[in-house]
Amino acid sequence: MAGRPARAATRNAEPGVQRCINVACAATYGLRERVYLCPRCGETLEIVCRLAAPGGPMAMRKLWSSRRALGARSEDARDVSGVWRYLEMLPFEEDAPFVTLFEGNTPLYDAPRSAAYCGIASLRLKHQGYNPTGSFKDTGMAAAMTQAMLSGARTAVCASTGNTAASLAAYAARSGLKAAILLPRGQVSPSKLAQSLDYGALVLEIDGNFDACMRLVEELGGEPSIYIANSINPFRIEGQKTVAFELIEQCRWRVPDHVVVPGGNMGNSTALGKGFQELLSLGMIDRLPKLSVIQAEGAAPLAHLFANLDLKKQAGREPSIPSKLEPVHNPQTLATAIKIGAPVSWKKALRAVLRSGGQIISVSEQELADAKAMIGRDSIGCEPASATTVAGIKKLVATGHIARTDDVIAVLTGHALKDPDYMIRYHEGGLSSDTGGKRDLAFASALRNTPKHAAATKAAILSSLEQQL
């Protein structure tokens, strides 16, 4: 490993605490206490790290970049992992049993066609779908499974039908823990389970709906051998916040004007906001990028709430967060990764957006589908939820929130192959909204690209090529 961890000489106590986000409660708990929601008031918890940058911001930058340089030539988790490289910012000691599948280290792509589509001079896409299991969940799971090992758990449990399940299954297998995934029987597409099965997780089909699975997970949290890795787990946010550090490093420490993310359960926006805030508090950046969150129209409870906030009242003050969010009881979107009507981390995400001066808006299924195909034209594949970002940026340019020359980065959350069926249906013109029994709404596929028939001759192929050009 390059250099000694900066923290070792400066800290005697635990490297942070778990704190209730309810300002009126603000109860704190030790890092190794197995609590998921505040036992006093039931609110979610967040980790408050004891941050320090010994030697100053430049020394920290150098340390992180020297670890990155060692990268593939090293076996140390702090060199190969895009999470553990930033150990000084995380609530773990240097002798923790770091779980890693070499997560992070994801590309930051230039996307000129998508930029023109949005009406801006340039756009970069940070692709978290290039993580080991194909989604942004992996950075958080590396931290959560390391915490599970420290807590002495033997089994990690979650209720999820998609990316979280795949990530948990992989990281539990890597840490030697059993993984159990709870699903509502008969309501889950087998293709979504493929990864979890392959990683050897115990997949339990429960007689009941998704809410029943969630209740069971909460009940299981009382068992000493079981560790809960659902969205309420604050250690996942700690792993995910490293995306902010990696992103700023890739920008050579020049803070972009805007960072735009999809909004489902809001863990992603919470984590990025926390990461940027921590860099600012250490003097490693001089301002926050404006953090904006884009939801799908049929699953947009936070965008509805945001539209009714008095932003003038919030300006220049510590954000005042409403106590309740009106959930969407029957969320509808083909972007299944963000088909969430009652996001767990909405308060933390809203606080981060308000502090940064960003926006929370929604986009239609049509806007989302065309934006996804446009990202594809930039030779970058992503799952549908990720494309809310480009659709949202186009809208934010139209409203003047984003200026033509602003430096804009969108975070893509999942790999294209997470949902190939969506792409085929778009390009064959068969994509329609899932309205749960009502009349389906078929989409126009503006960027449609269907397979063409050609005779088995050189002339026929050359003729097809000419037509294409």
Site of interaction with Zn ion (CB under 5 A): 20, 22, 25, 27, 38, 40-41, 43
CB closer to Zn ion, 43 vs 257 = 43
As beta bridge partners, residue 109 has: 125
CB closer to Zn ion, 324 vs 453 = 324
Closest alpha carbon to 153 in 172, 170, 174, 137 = 172
**What region, left, alpha or beta, does residue 186 occupy, with left being phi > 0 and alpha being psi -120 to 50 degrees?**
left
CB closer to Zn ion, 43 vs 94 = 43
Tell me how far, at minimum, the Cβ of 37 lies from Zn ion, in Å.
Answer: 8
Query: 283 CB contacts (<8 Å, ≥6 apart)?
Result: 53, 56, 57
Rounded CA separation 107/78 (Å): 19
- CB-CB contact of 148 with 168 (8 Å): no
CB closer to Zn ion, 24 vs 315 = 24
CB closer to Zn ion, 29 vs 210 = 29
Tell me how far, at minimum, the Cβ of 42 lies from Zn ion, in Å.
Answer: 7
Tell me how far, at minimum, the Cβ of 35 lies from Zn ion, in Å.
Answer: 10
- Classified as helix, coil or strand, 125 is strand
Rounded CA separation 241/143 (Å): 11
Determine the residue type at 439. Answer: R
Length of the chain: 469
CB closer to Zn ion, 22 vs 151 = 22
Rounded CA separation 407/120 (Å): 9
H/E stretch holding 316 reads none
Tell me how far, at minimum, the Cβ of 274 lies from Zn ion, in Å.
Answer: 18
Tell me how far, at minimum, the Cβ of 344 lies from Zn ion, in Å.
Answer: 15
Tell me how far, at minimum, the Cβ of 18 lies from Zn ion, in Å.
Answer: 11
Rounded CA separation 319/341 (Å): 23
